[in-house]
Amino acid sequence: MADQSPDEGSKRKIDAEEKGTTEEASGTEESVGSASSDGTPDTADTPGTPDAPPESDSERTSEFVALKPVDVPALKPPRPVTAGPALGARPKDESAESPAPDAEEPAPALPPLDLLAELTNTPKPPETPARTITRRFKIWVPIVLLLALVFVIVQAVRPLPPPSLKLGADTSSYTFDGRFSLPWPAKGQSAVQVQGSGSLGTFGEQKPVPTASVAKVMTAYVLLKDHPLKKDEAGPTIEVDEKAVREGEAKDESRIEGLTAGAKFSQQDMLKMLMIPSGNNIARLLARWDTGSRDETAFVAKMNEAAKALGMNDTTYTDPSGLDAKTVSTAVDQLKLAEAVMRFDAFRPIVALPNATIKGLPQPINNNNDNLLLAGLSIKGIKTGSNTAAGGALMWAAYKTVGDRTPLILGTMLDQRVDGPDPNGGNSLTLVKENSKKVIAAVRDALTSVVAVRKGQVVGYVDDGLGGRTPLVATRDLKAVGVPGQRLPLRLTDSGKRVPHAADAGAVVGALTIGTGPDAPTVPVALQKDLREPSFGSKVTRLG
């Protein structure tokens, strides 16, 4: 047997001691864990298990030392998690079921910011007015900027308003220097105007009164509208009927005598018989011919329709001749008719005739207005009227050349009556002609022509609708005709053409007119400087 070193002996001694300790501990566990239910310890291992072979020293050194069991207190089982009441569920009656003494209330849900602080272990910052303002600023500023951008884009691409022409404050009208007063009659009513310049004034109460044969002017107007004629054109033929022949024999009214049934006359000759000697029977014949009726009712309806269209609101026609006293009008209304009827080229030459010879009539016909037509006042019509109900009535037209213009002067005078005997209004007819002659002479003497607007004068501007104004100037002198003291309106028009958004200086964009009616003098107006579209800033800041 070989000698052992001290170290080896010591090692064996330590291993022996550890083995003994281990076996002691194992015996203790087995005695504790393998005891039977009646307290008898199991001395054998599991049946059929052979005894383990002896362990080597190296194996024993790797075994763990069994620890003595320690008493551990029993843990409570976890409390089951129950779902909360369903949304809208009725809460349980607390008095019916009391929670267990040891039951815990469920923790309330945390606000989002508090929950975020819990998750990130970052405490929620304290709320202050400055932090509230900052948070709102961060939220609303981007929204406001986006809305502002949308607004700017919409404003920039919106269609531009149409430009318009506006008069300057000092060019809205022109007033002739001096003063003028008309020699109005003492009674009745009257109205006078210069064609293209406008009214010179009215006299008397404009109430409806009988017109007598002045009503035949409306008969001629309707006839020429239905059957237009050119100047000096004869027109269609019209056959005389038995009724016209019989009415030509009446003694108490003006008429055309010597007619025979079946005789034919041109429309132009019929108009001469209507207007020059004032044939009542011809007025009724033309009314029947125009409508193809046996009486004049349909034609009278046309007369009233035409009066309404001309704005003759105080006029009523009951017959085509004016013999009926219920045919009434005013001087102002009849002046509207005079202006309209004198536009017919076939009408003006007829009413200017003092007399006429018509083939088929036994004698020439004479104008009841002959003393005025031959008075040297350039009077060219239009129609007289007289009877007991109407007194004397007259619609007249005269001319006066002033400068480079010869305007038409129109006037009406109704309800002129003489004091004393007046058989069938004859003396009143003389009176109305004399009173009208005075008015005509006074207007002709006072009529003058002036330069109301000079070439190059600024008369207005183009308004682009967004605050921009481009001056407008007259391209030549604008002359006006009137009487002293008369005030004429000025107006700017686009002459039927759309005003552009942009144009060069000198471009004609409209017209300047002085006076009233289609005969009013007019001159073109042009841009004084370049017309440009509104700026981007004007587009964006517009409100309308």
The string of pLDDT tens digits covering residues 345-394 is 999 999 999 999 999 999 999 998 888 888 889 999 999 999 999 999 99
Read off φ and ψ for residue 442, nearest 5 degrees. Answer: -65, -40
Ranked by mean pLDDT, which of 124-138, 277-291, 486-500 comes out on top? 277-291
Residue 401 in contact with residue 441, Cβ under 8 Å? no
Alpha-carbon distance 394 to 385, whole Å? Answer: 6
Q: Which CATH class is domain 189-446?
A: alpha beta
Read off φ and ψ for residue 498, nearest 5 degrees. Answer: -70, 135
Residue 204 in contact with residue 331, Cβ under 8 Å? yes
Residue-wise pLDDT for 205-251, tens only, equals 999 999 999 999 999 999 999 999 999 999 999 999 999 999 999 88
Average pLDDT over residues 250-255: 89
Alpha-carbon distance 456 to 375, whole Å? Answer: 43
Average pLDDT over residues 313-337: 98
For 22-170, strand residue ranges (E) read 164-167
pLDDT at 342 over 70: yes
Confidence at residue 156, expressed as pLDDT on a 0 to 100 scale: 76
H or E element that contains 50: none
Lowest mean pLDDT among 105-114, 278-287, 495-504: 105-114
- Please compute Rg for the chain using Cα positions: 60
Q: Where are the domains positioned within the chain?
A: 116-157, 164-177+451-541, 189-446
Locate 472 and state its tokens. Answer: 């407008």
Of 421, 409, 408, 411, nearest to 335 by C-alpha is: 411
